[in-house]
Structure 1
Amino acid sequence: MAIHGIGPQKLFAMAAKFIEPLQVFVAGDTLGYIHVYSYEKEEKLQSFRGHAEHVTLLEVHPSKPLVLSASWDNVIKLWDWKAGWQCIRTFEGHSEDIEQAIRFNPHTAGNTFASCSEDCTIKIWDMYSPSPTPVASFECGSRHARGLDYFSPGGDLQYLVARLYGRAQIWDLQEKKRIKRIKGLQDIGCNIAVVENLSGRPILLTVSDDHTVSFCDSTTHRYENWVNFNLGRVRGCAYINMTKSLAVLCEKGIGLMEID
Structure 2
Amino acid sequence: MIVALVHVLAVRSAKFVAREQWIVAGADDKFIRVYKFNSDEKIKEFEAHTDYIRSITVHPTLPYVLSASDDTLIKLWDWEKDWACAQVFEGHSHYVMQVAFNPRDTNTFASASLDCTVKIWDLGTRTPTFTLEAHSKGVNCVDFFANSDKAYLISGSDDHDVKVWDYETKTCVQTLEGHTHNVTTICVSPEVPIIFTGSEDGTVHAWHAMTFRLENLLKYELGRVWAIGCIEGSPKIVIGCDEGTIMAKVMCSHNWDSANRQIEEEDSNE
Aligned length: 247
**1:221 maps to what in 2?**
212
**1:33 maps to what in 2?**
31
- Among 66, 87, 97, the residue aligned to 1:89: 87
> Do 2:162 and 2:183's aligned partners in 1 also have CA atoms closer than 8 Å?
no
Confirm or deny that 1:144 pairs with 2:123.
no
- Among 241, 246, 249, the residue aligned to 2:232: 241
> Do 1:148 and 1:193's aligned partners in 2 also have CA atoms closer than 8 Å?
no
Matched residue SS, 2:43: strand
Shift of 1:142: 2.5
Matched to 1:102, the amino acid is V
1:212–1:55 Cα change, 3 Å: closer
Matches within 5 A, 1:100-115: 100-108=97-105, 110-115=106-111
**1:120 maps to what in 2?**
116
Shift of 1:248: 2.0
**2:161 maps to what in 1?**
167
- Among 20, 23, 39, the residue aligned to 1:22: 20
Shift of 1:57: 1.1
> Do 1:2 and 1:12's aligned partners in 2 also have CA atoms closer than 8 Å?
no
Matched residue SS, 1:82: helix
RMSD: 2.1
Matched to 2:55, the amino acid is L
Distance 2:200 2:235 in 1: 24
Query: TM-score, normalised on structure 2?
Result: 0.83
Shift of 1:190: 3.7
Distance 2:70 2:226 in 1: 22
Confirm or deny that 1:11 pairs with 2:26.
no
Shift of 1:192: 1.8
Shift of 1:148: 1.2
Distance 2:116 2:182 in 1: 16
Instruction: Give the percent of matched residue pairs that are identical in Structure 1 and Structure 2.
Output: 36
Shift of 1:208: 2.9
Distance 1:148 1:238 in 2: 14
Distance 2:89 2:177 in 1: 32
> Do 2:140 and 2:183's aligned partners in 1 also have CA atoms closer than 8 Å?
no
Confirm or deny that 1:257 pairs with 2:253.
no
**2:176 maps to what in 1?**
182
1:95–1:190 Cα change, 3 Å: closer
Shift of 1:246: 1.2
Task: Output one character per residue of 1:108-156: Cα deviation in whole Å (capped at 9) or x when no partner.
Answer: 1x1110001111110000113xx3100010112431211111111112x
Task: Output one character per residue of 1:183-216: Cα deviation in whole Å (capped at 9) or x when no partner.
Answer: 1123136422211445xxx321112344433211
Shift of 1:103: 0.5
> Do 1:247 and 1:254's aligned partners in 2 also have CA atoms closer than 8 Å?
yes
Matched residue SS, 1:21: coil
Shift of 1:233: 4.7
Point out where structure 1 has 5 or more consecutive residues left out of the alignment. 5-9
> Do 2:185 and 2:198's aligned partners in 1 also have CA atoms closer than 8 Å?
yes
**Greater CA drift, 47-56 or 233-242:** 233-242
Matched residue SS, 1:53: coil
Distance 1:126 1:67 in 2: 14
Shift of 1:228: 4.0
**1:43 maps to what in 2?**
41
> Do 2:194 and 2:206's aligned partners in 1 also have CA atoms closer than 8 Å?
yes
Task: Output one character per residue of 1:63-99: Cα deviation in whole Å (capped at 9) or x when no partner.
Answer: 221100011111111111122111111111111111x
Matched residue SS, 2:104: helix
1:97–1:229 Cα change, 3 Å: closer
Matched to 2:162, the amino acid is A
Matched to 2:53, the amino acid is V
Distance 2:170 2:99 in 1: 18
